[in-house]
Amino acid sequence: MAEQETRPNRVPLMVLAWAWVVIPFGYGVYQLFLKLVQLFG
């Protein structure tokens, strides 16, 4: 049990890493949606 207490908390790092991927991906999907609306609208 003592080993788990000394383990560093990696939650903020994981959140930052996922945000680094999800935010640009979401922006790209948004831009794709805007282009599709212009193309087919």
CA distance 14 to 21: 11
Flag whether pLDDT at 6 surpasses 90. no
In the block, tokens 């831009």 appear at 31
Q: Model pTM?
A: 0.68
Flag whether pLDDT at 3 surpasses 70. no
**Tokens found for residue 18:** 């996922």
Average confidence score pLDDT of the chain: 90
Write down the domain spans for the chain: 17-41
**Tokens found for residue 40:** 């087919």
In the block, tokens 């945000």 appear at 19
Residue 9 CA to its chain's centroid (Å)? 19
CA distance 26 to 22: 6
Query: pLDDT tens for residues 24-38?
Result: 999 999 999 999 999
